Amino acid sequence: MGWSVNRPTGLTWNQPELSTKGYTLVTPSSDQTAYLLDMNGRVVHTWTFETIKPGYGRLLDNGNLLMSGSDVNLPEPPEDEPTKAPPPFARHVTRLGGYKTTLLEVDWDGSVVWRYESRFQHHDFVRLPNGNTMVPEWVELSAELHKKVRGGHRLPRERLPRLLGDDLVEIDPAGNEVRRIHTWKLLDPVRDPIHSTKRRWEWTHVNAIDVNDAGDIVFSARTNDRVCVIDGATGELKLKFTDTHGQHHATWVGDDLIQVFDNGVSASRVLEICVSTGDIAWKYQSRPMHQFFSNYISGAERLWSGSVLVCEGSSGRIFEVTRDHQVVWEWINPFVNHRPNGDPAVGIYRAHRYQADHAALQGRDLDPKAHANLNRLNGLT
């Protein structure tokens, strides 16, 4: 489904008796600011970043905001010139979707309290109960494995770079690496091929990770359409789910349940999957189904009420849907930014909602009047 820049934005639908009350965190694409919204879709707090181009963030249990981003002084990525020799690994990754250089933990006022730098991290992060942090990092595969991996395509006369895989790297508060998991060792180069629509640049493109209380890790590998669960005790796969396409935001929603935003080919779905059986336990798909579609980015977060906060990323549409498939709240991004080529950017990678008693929000001034001009200029009244 297409969308127009000239459309109603802000809060477009709300059923207060059914929606899940809280505050919603969004970081619009190509913006320098993260915004906290009330249930009326009005800005009640902002965090603005100067040293990074923010990707997306989430509030931590300690009350701080952890934000991913890329260095504002990063050189422009190399041009895509298929017939020429590929750029070196460190330059090649800068032109890939989801590339990041930095994690910044900031307090309510935006002061930096922790920083982690890695020029190969991308997409997602998880703050673990022990205070460590896990991030995916790109790695070059061996020449032998590069040849074994099936699928994907190359452009005419393209000189291919070495295929990339993903490691999951755990770092301690001092930035020291304490664990590294090679996801590419858990997959089969023939049975888990790159999708035919993808160029032979990445085998997996891990765009989501989450860890449950038992230490089991779920990850989403977009370029070969795999959602996998790593057993925290054995390090082996306990699930390899293959019925998605281009999916994002795999998360734990129960001891034996994960949730995934399945981008799809022409319509998107939210899936709840039983890890022990691989069966779909619940799903949301719009009726008509093409009314709900995002071909990239996007997310779905299970709320404490049982409803799901869905981020239809490419269009910047965020909505809450109940277990019986009722859309009870909808907000559309009014912050129109622009990409380097001048195209309008309204996308949102993910959205998160927090209860009013969250550690970050207790005792805070959340009156939208403090941001009256910002709200008025963007129609958030």
User: Does domain 72-292 sit in CATH 3.40.367.20?
Assistant: no
pTM metric for this prediction:
0.98
Q: What is the pLDDT of residue 45?
A: 98
Residues 188-242 have pLDDT tens digits of 999 999 999 999 999 999 999 999 999 999 999 999 999 999 999 999 999 999 9
Question: What residues form DSSP beta bridges with 59?
Answer: 65
Query: Nearest Cα to 345, choosing from 21, 127, 31?
Result: 31
Q: Which pLDDT does position 3 carry in this prediction?
A: 83
| Residue 53, number of CB atoms within 10 A of its CB | 18
Instruction: Give pLDDT, residue 276.
Output: 98
Note the pLDDT tens digit of each residue in 70-127: 999 999 999 999 999 999 999 999 999 999 999 999 999 999 999 999 999 999 999 9
| Burial class for 110, CB neighbours closer than 10 Å (0-12, 13-18, 19+) | middle
pLDDT score at 198: 98
Low-confidence ranges of the chain (pLDDT < 50): none
pLDDT at site 1: 65
What pLDDT does 2 receive? 81
Domain ranges of the chain: 1-59+298-381, 72-292
Order of strands across the sheet with 177-182?
A: 126-127, 133-140, 164-171, 177-182
Cα–Cα distance between 309 and 10 in angstroms, integer?
Answer: 16
Of residues 31, 26, 60, 62, the one with CA closest to residue 48: 31
